[in-house]
Amino acid sequence: MRLRVALDTKGSTLCPFVERFTQPEALVYTDEYDSYNPLKRARVTVCHGTKEWAREEDGDGWYETHTNSDEGMWVGLCNFLRPFRGVPKRYLYGYVAIYEFHVNLKAISPPFIAALVRPHSFST
């Protein structure tokens, strides 16, 4: 997962990020937000404006089209930030980076601890 703080939600901001971190053949699931229209990826949408949250495409009982994973990730970020009771905008990118790292890191390992401590070590 890749997260970044964006200055705005225009297509000229969002689409290059999505394209940078996805393969050209990726199928991207989004809501109907117009900023994704210029995206140079195959795209399937759900229309929250019409109360559509997921779509079952082929009659097998599984809802193939949804944005639950992405929306759940943003809820997770909000829950992560809640104990801080407000984060100054100029530091938000750092908190988001910590959350991204937390989600992507599956286990705390000796190499992780070494990488974390190394920049703070003092040489004598």
- Residue boundaries of the structural domains of the chain: 11-120
Percentage of the chain surpassing pLDDT 90?
Answer: 31
Kindly list the distances between the CA atom of residue 5 and the CA atoms of 2, 29, 38, 113, in Å, as whole numbers in the listed order.
Answer: 10, 20, 20, 26
Are 1 and 104 in contact by the 8 Å Cβ rule? The answer is yes
pLDDT tens digits for range 59-99: 888 877 877 777 788 899 999 999 998 899 899 988 998 89
Is the model's pLDDT at 114 over the cut of 60? yes
pLDDT of 124: 45
Choose between 17 and 112: higher pLDDT: 17
- Global pTM reads 0.69
